[in-house]
Amino acid sequence: MSAIRLSPRRVAKPWGRTDIGPPFNREALDAGDERIGEIWFELPAGRPEPALLVKYLFTSEALSVQVHPDDAQAQADGARQGKEEAWVILDAEDGAAIGLGLEQRITPEQLRAAALDGSIERLIDWKPVAPGDHFHVTPGTIHAIGGGLTLIEVQQYADITYRLYDYGRPRELHLDAAIACAEAGPYLTPNLRTPIGVGVDRLVDGPKFGLVDAHCDDFAALPDPGAYGPVWFIPVDGAGSIDGEAWQPGECWLLDDAAGLAALGGSGRALIAWTMAA
């Protein structure tokens, strides 16, 4: 069994923060005074991109209003795959919110006009959030992450984002591409927690990946989540080991396959993700 501790890479963003706090150490990340918006977990240089990417996000301001394409749309644009993603909220300031979908359905022409004049901010369905909330964001969903949040994002490994609106920041918009793939209506995903064991809930069950939130007194007794192929182990709190190597919060590990979960030890909370069959 192979277990690889993925390397964290900080990504500066205009909406990021200087106070990201534990379990991360700004000095260890060599961050200086920059505003860290994301921490990506990556394989060593020279290894092929995996199917999924795990990130932490830290927001002081709202992210752009954006949309991601599905596989077919992304491949038509020269990318390897689209971007389906899920968010798990770790911390939220009072009043923090996430925008998902629109309050009502509008036409592509109305969407373009709203993006150009800024009224799209008032059309978005802004949902108050709290730690423990989770959201499955399928391709085509118009979305915006608000300020004052710390969250974990699990996504298809694709850095492909079409911006509709960016609050006047001097960054490129992608109106034609965004409108072509946007679902310009309400967000209808129920985002249920489905228990599969004591303290273990399934958050996402495809189509592109599965995701489980596990609170375990003993990870060695973790029920089989139904994963196959490579598995991402994302410890949120607690301590333990993987095949004799210590893990701690703020890390991300890539296991060869679901059999590697049997080598987990320790207790705490972790997210576990895996890809689904094509």
pLDDT tens-digit map of 144-191 = 999 999 999 999 999 999 999 999 998 999 999 999 999 999 999 999
Residue 177's nearest CA partner among 196, 163, 187, 167 is 163
pLDDT of residue 254: 96
pLDDT tens per residue, range 207-258: 999 999 999 999 999 998 988 889 999 999 999 999 899 999 999 999 998 8
Residue 1 has pLDDT above 60, yes or no: no
pLDDT of residue 28: 65
The mean pLDDT value of the chain amounts to 94
69 preceded by cis ω (within 30°)?
Answer: no
Catalogue the active-site residues: 163
207 preceded by cis ω (within 30°)?
Answer: yes
pLDDT of residue 33: 81
pLDDT tens per residue, range 45-82: 888 889 999 999 999 999 999 999 999 999 999 999 99
What are the residues facing 211 on neighbouring strands? 204, 273
Q: In what order do the strands lie in the sheet with 97-102?
A: 124-128, 97-102, 143-145, 65-67, 162-165
- Where exactly does CATH 2.60.120.10 map onto the chain? 3-181, 194-275
pLDDT of residue 278: 60
Residue type, 45: A
The structure tokens 């996000």 sit at 57
pLDDT of residue 70: 96
Residue 259 has pLDDT above 90, yes or no: no
pLDDT of residue 27: 67
The structure tokens 């004799």 sit at 244
pLDDT tens per residue, range 89-144: 999 999 999 999 999 999 999 999 999 999 999 999 999 999 999 999 999 999 99
Multiple choice CATH, 3-181, 3.40.50.150, 3.40.50.620, 2.60.120.10, 3.30.460.80 = 2.60.120.10
The 3-class secondary structure across the chain, one letter per residue, is CCEEECEEEEEEEEEEECCCCCCCCCCCCCCCCCCEEEEEEECCCCCCCCCEEEEEEEECCCCCEEECCCHHHHHHCCCCCCCCEEEEEEEECCCCEEEEEECCCCCHHHHHHHHHHCCHHHHEEEEECCCCCEEEECCCECEEECCCEEEEEEEECCCCCEEEECCCCCCCCCHHHHHHHCECCECCCCCCCEEEECCEEEEEECCCEEEEEEEECCHHHCCCCCCCCCEEEEEEEEEEEECCEEECCCCCEEECCHHHHHHEEEEEEEEEEEECCC
Residue 250 contacts residue 4 (beta carbons within 8 Å): no
pTM for this structure? 0.95
Question: Which structure tokens are listed for 70?
Answer: 């599905």
Residue type, 122: R
CATH superfamily of 194-275: Jelly Rolls (2.60.120.10)
Residue 204 has pLDDT above 70, yes or no: yes
